[in-house]
Amino acid sequence: MTELHPLTVAERLSPVACAAAKARGKRVSVLTAYDYPGARLLEEAGVDWLLVGDSLGMVVLGYPDTTHVTLADMAHHTAAAARGLTRTPLIADLPIGTYDDDAAAIQSARVLLAAGAHAVKLEGGVSHANRVAALTGAGIAVMGHIGMLPQSVLLEGGYRIKGRTEDSASALVRDALALEAAGAFALVVELVDSAATQRISEAVRIPTIGIGSGEACDGQVLVTHDLVGAFPWFHPKFVTPAAHVGETIKGAVKNWLQQFE
């Protein structure tokens, strides 16, 4: 009998492998990681994929949104997270302004790959399909991102649900199909109406990874700080914290401080 060898990380993030996993009904868990201990703990817990999200701008660096995050920030945190991993695919966000043309996108992606990422994620649908095609053509694995685009939050004036009208839902389906055709291995679908999300998930063969978009996606991604209550000053309406790490830390420190009273 021929021995079956496990897929490498690169093979696991190929569109073919991801589409096959979706066809089998595989659900994909994705959480954010920004440093060595965080990534190591999440790998030990068994999370499928980890994302070094530019959400680190808010929950780690203290910025009001993702638009202040630089490529140097992303490379620094990607390298830290990668040191905590032995087998888990690591995806890193291309920050705003680093993929305005094909050459810049490829150069920026290679910086993140050199830091330890196995793939990159960028925001935009039909408008960025050619950019995704350029990256995948250069041998770089790409995750797409449609719906609410955090890097456009200043232009849009806030975070709003997408896909509530027929026209906008149809446009999102076109976005998803364009990214799939360009070679993306998966799509983040953020803050999209649940009915539109269902249409998107049914339209593409690759996995859809939802965040605030209902239950119709093939997987879910969350900011780990939101899931565990490590950022107690704010949490999205669609997240119910499974722990209250922030309060636990404060309580432990208050107990320690009693020796100084």
Count Cα neighbours of 75 within 13 Å in the Cβ-side half-sphere. Answer: 13
Q: Has 190 been annotated as catalytic?
A: yes
Among 8, 21, 6, 2, smallest CA distance to 208 is for 21
Q: Where does the chain show beta strands of DSSP type E?
A: 28-32, 49-52, 90-93, 119-121, 142-147, 186-190, 208-211, 219-222
CA dist., res. 195 & res. 193, Å (int): 6
**Would you call 121 helix, strand, or coil by DSSP?**
strand
User: 146: which residues sit within 8 A by CB, 6+ positions away?
Assistant: 123, 124, 125, 172, 175, 176, 179, 187, 188, 189, 190, 192, 200
Residues 11, 44, 190, 202: which is the catalytic one? Answer: 190
Q: Which helix (H) or strand (E) holds 251?
A: helix 245-257
The neighbouring-strand residues paired with 121 are: 93, 143
- Asked if residue 221 lies in contact with residue 236, where contact means CB atoms within 8 angstroms, the answer is no
Q: Which two tokens stand for residue 232?
A: 């107690």
Torsion angle of the four alpha carbons 206, 183, 176, 226, in this order, in degrees rounded to the nearest 10: 70
Q: Which residues are catalytic?
A: 190
